Structure 1
Amino acid sequence: MGAKLACPALFISAPASGQGKTTLTAGLARLHLRAGRRVRVFKTGPDFLDPMILARASGAPVLSLDLWMVGEDACRKLLAQAAREADLILIEGVMGLFDGTPSSADLATTFGVPVAAVVSAKSMAQTFGAIAFGLARFRPGLPFHGVLANRVGSARHAQMLQEALPADAPWLGHVASAEMMELPDRHLGLHQAHEIDDLDARIERAADALAQTTLADLPPPIAFTYPSDNVTIPRLLDGRHIAIARDAAFSFLYPANIALLETMGASVSYFSPLADEPAPANADAIFLPGGYPELHASMLARNAQSAASLRAHVSAGKPLVAECGGMLYLLDALTDVAGTRTPMLGLVPGEAVMQRRFAALGMQQLDGAHGALRGHTFHYSRVTTPVAPALVARHAQTGAHGEALYRHGSIAATYMHAYWPSNPAFAAALFHGTAL
């Protein structure tokens, strides 16, 4: 191991999703930012939406931490880099504290980051103490910092909650129910940051509420250590220009993925299909990320200039990589939950139909000529296509078949959201259009 770097750090978790973790993590980040501290926030697991909110709150990019997808050594390096640059590290958990393999508890324990549990106390009294008891004691060795009650109805309610706590679950305070502080959501999770008109006001209200709690106190410093094996990334994309679609329809981008492209020597530019911007004619490769094309299907269908540029790119035999929503845009048509069928680009034969329930969820891995590329899938649509899969992913825990990766001419398309730093050579092959 390399040099140790100490930085105050706190892990914000909960007994389940929907407890208010993102709202309060964002508020806590903004509170410390207002105090003049440099705050770095991380999000546990695969997520594109929460990091948008947290980046807005903290003023810095929000990277993913996951012991499987990112890898322990890579997580260790990211935390050590943050410790060198920041005055406070905050990590928001995923789902409940012990949910998933690996879980938030696994991550917090691996790096010794104390866990503050956020528990929604709406419609609850003394049972709050039982939940806190379980969170604090379920896993021996978990560094437990305390519990904060969210959505509290009154001062008397807060008193009952605090009195119910066991001695080894310190009270970190409470936050009252406040509709104007909560963040709106929809089928894939929270709304995107730019879609919430009063987002900064909501974050400020959360910061103000947390200022009255001991959760706002600066946590103790934690020692983070660089891994001894500091691998140099080869410049596998040296000189290549990669154009990336980025707007409200195509926004699911890991900052670490973009950083990897640049580390490998690529120059990156952006264009908006939703604004009918053409993809740059001089781009060597194009990436269409996931997002919400189904919410903007009619506009995408009307935007002829952007469509013509993508068709020209593919006709020229240049690589085009598409994930999830980006793949839907390439198909012949997309049908929404109301049954409205909208023509898409027609660059990959097949159609997609949106559903009201999710069709796939979980961590997956593609195995190819360059080894394993890890990522995740989460979507509410189903695709039918005559194109045979070039590769089929497998589920992280069960090994069962997962998402297909399709090759159609110079196009590589899949539902799986890949974390490219898990295999830079595989990622480079996608953008070179070479064998996978």
Structure 2
Amino acid sequence: MPSATCPALLISAPASGQGKTTVTAALARLWTRRGARVRVFKCGPDFLDPHWHALASGQPVDNLDLWINGETDIRARLHDAAAHSDLILIEGVMGLFDGEPSAADLAVKLGLPVLAVIDAGAMAGTFGALVHGLRHYRPGLPWAGVLANRVASEGHEQMLRASVRADDLGVQPGGIDAGWLGGLRRDTGFALPERHLGLTSAAELPDAQQRLDALADALEYTPLGRLDAAGWQRWAVAFEAPPEQPVAPLLRGRTVAVARDAAFCFIYPANLDTLRALGAELVFFSPLADEPVPDCDALWLPGGYPELHADALQQGMRCRTSLAAHIAAGKPVWAECGGMMPLFDAITLADGVRVPMWGLLPGEVAMQPRLAALGAQRWRTSRGELRGHSFHYSTLTTPLLPVAHTEPATGRGQPEAVYGLGALRASYFHAWFASNLEATEDLFTLG
């Protein structure tokens, strides 16, 4: 299969909180309004930023992680996107060189030009030192340029621009300042709201689209925003197609029910695609609306925010009764993180209030003031290694003995327990289904 070429940027920063998501979403919205076909990706196993990017671009957003996905999977996704898109945007994770693997590792391996977004709200001359360090710390890093965020005024922007050395901007013959891509003014109206797991989901805010339009309007006045389609060709990348890997229909003839609503919203689109590729028919329902489990062969309870909707979930007797019947019938259930929490006797919220839950598994969940676990994990199943990650602010106390444990990918951090009851499997582990199709088959065929 021939390579596919498309302009692409990897948008990164010196650290979290600099404005990567804001700039990525603004770019996606700006070019989508212009009629371009924009595909956005997110580095790392993040569930929340992709909600904003999907709203901005009108397209599904996949995650890219060199360890969790594997390089072949990433190359296949980017090649397909390049063949059907006018522009590819990839938001980095944390700082440019943070993590194992980092956004910089992805940029170097795939030849992705890096746009650095730097929060310049409390600096002037030091801005140039940060640009120099980001550009030269990793030899061979493809470089696109820098965008200053939270700029106070035109004078402040001029100081920031003057602090950057000419060779770090890549000034071209004829005076074309290719690397200075402008500054976004400080404006609280541009802020995307956050809470304990990250950004608030775009679907929860009635003015989410207006926020994105305001961001796109502001970006349009920067050098980056003024570039036309021809200008973006400086960042064209040829994405090679990996060898095709046929997928056996391991779940053909099986119907998988998926909980999907504001309480169960941590769903990788790629996981749904994997289940469909395996031959499964997917049906969706809302526990939050007290909908019963649909007629199905297996059930997936994905992660989300059950703690924010504990009272409503407690009252969902139709859903609980149908779920209990599904479990009693020996039908498979895969419950991960937030999808696991309501299965236990109760959740104690951050304010100390204990809310009874479904009581289908013995144990108590308690929200914590700090992050309880974070990091990539592997589960060595009988069908091979299933990869994913954990990220949660709650802890679990249960008399259940684990049927398995995951392992931290880097050797640091704590393993996650996998609990079992009949054909039910539950864990804080979030699985990336495409990393092991046979192990994924087992999740939905046990019993």
Q: TM-score, normalised by structure 1?
A: 0.97
Structure 1's unaligned 5+ residue stretches are: none
SS of corresponding position for 2:391 = strand
Structure-1 residue corresponding to 2:427: 414
1:340-372, Cα deviation, whole Å (9 max, x unpaired): 111111111111100010100000000011110
In the TM superposition, what is the alpha-carbon distance from 1:401 to its structure 2 partner? 4.7
8 Å Cα contact 1:367-1:373 kept in structure 2:
yes
1:243 matched to 2:257? The reply is yes
Q: Does 1:182 align with 2:210?
A: no
Letter in 2 for 1:244: V
**Which residue of structure 1 aligns with residue 158 of structure 2?**
159
- What is the distance in 2 between the residues matched to 1:409 and 1:240? 19
Instruction: Identify the residue that residue 121 of structure 2 maps to in structure 1.
Output: 122
Deviations 1:305-362 (A, max 9, x none): 1111111111111111100011101011110111111111111111110001010000
Q: Is the 8 A contact 2:8 2:87 kept in 1?
A: yes
* Residue deviations 1:154-183 (CA, integer Å, cap 9, x gap): 000000000001222321100001111110
The 1-side partners of 2:322 and 2:189 are apart by 43
Q: Kindly, what percent of the aligned residue pairs are identical?
A: 54
Residues 257, 420 of structure 1: 8 Å contact kept: yes
More displaced stretch, 202-211 vs 81-90 = 202-211
2:305/2:338 contact within 8 Å kept: yes
Aligned to 1:221: 236
> Given the superposition, is the C-alpha separation of residues 348 and 103 from structure 1 closer, same or farther in structure 2, using an over 3 Å criterion?
same
CA distance in 2 between partners of 1:211 and 1:105 (Å): 27
Contact in 2 for aligned 1:392/1:401 (Cα 8 Å): no
Mapped to 2, the partners of 1:166 and 1:399 lie a distance apart of 39
| Preserved CA contact (<8 Å) 1:41 1:54 | yes
Question: Matched residue of 2:150: which SS?
Answer: strand
Kept in 1, the 8 Å contact 2:373–2:414? The answer is no
After superposition, the Cα gap between the structure-2 partners of 1:215 and 1:353, relative to the gap in structure 1 and judged at 3 Å, is: same
Which residue of structure 1 aligns with residue 219 of structure 2?
210
**SS at structure 2 position matched to 1:28:** helix
Shift in Å, 1:400: 6.2
Residue 256 of structure 1 is aligned with which of 224, 248, 270? 270
Shift in Å at residue 215 of structure 1? 2.0
C-alpha deviations, 1:111-156, integer Å up to 9, x for none? 1010000001111111111111110110010001110000000000
Q: Secondary structure at the match of 2:164?
A: coil
Q: 1:402 aligns with which of 398, 405, 415?
A: 415
- Report if aligned partners of 1:20, 1:182 keep a CA contact under 8 Å in 2: no
Say if 2:287 is the partner of 1:273.
yes
3-state SS of paired residue (1:238): coil
1:99 alignment counterpart:
98
Could you tell me whether the CA contact under 8 Å between 2:301 and 2:339 is conserved in 1? Answer: yes
Q: Give the CA deviation at 1:106.
A: 0.4
Whole-Å separation in 2 of the counterparts to 1:288 and 1:400: 25
Q: Secondary structure at the match of 2:41?
A: strand
RMSD: 1.0
Task: Indicate whether 1:315 and 2:328 are aligned.
Answer: yes
CA distance in 2, matches of 1:278, 1:333: 20
> Which letter maps to 2:104?
A
Please say if residues 375 and 413 of structure 2, whose CA atoms lie closer than 8 Å, have aligned partners that are also in contact. no
CA–CA distance in structure 2, aligned partners of residues 400 and 91 of structure 1:
27
Deviation at 1:206, TM superposition (A): 1.0
Q: Is the 8 A contact 2:341 2:365 kept in 1?
A: yes
Q: Secondary structure at the match of 2:289?
A: coil
Query: Match for 1:367: what amino acid?
Result: R
Corresponding residue number in structure 2 for 1:234: 248
* Contact persistence 2:288–2:313 (CA under 8 A): yes
User: Partner of 1:314: helix, strand, or coil?
Assistant: helix
In 1, Cα distance between the equivalents of 2:39 and 2:414?
36
User: Is the 1:362–1:377 contact (alpha carbons within 8 Å) kept by the matching residues of 2?
Assistant: yes
For the 8 Å contact 2:375–2:390, the answer to whether it is kept is yes
Of 167-176 and 104-113, deviating more is 167-176
Alignment of 1:125-164 (within 5 A): 125-164=124-163
Cα distance in 2 for residues equivalent to 1:30 and 1:330: 39
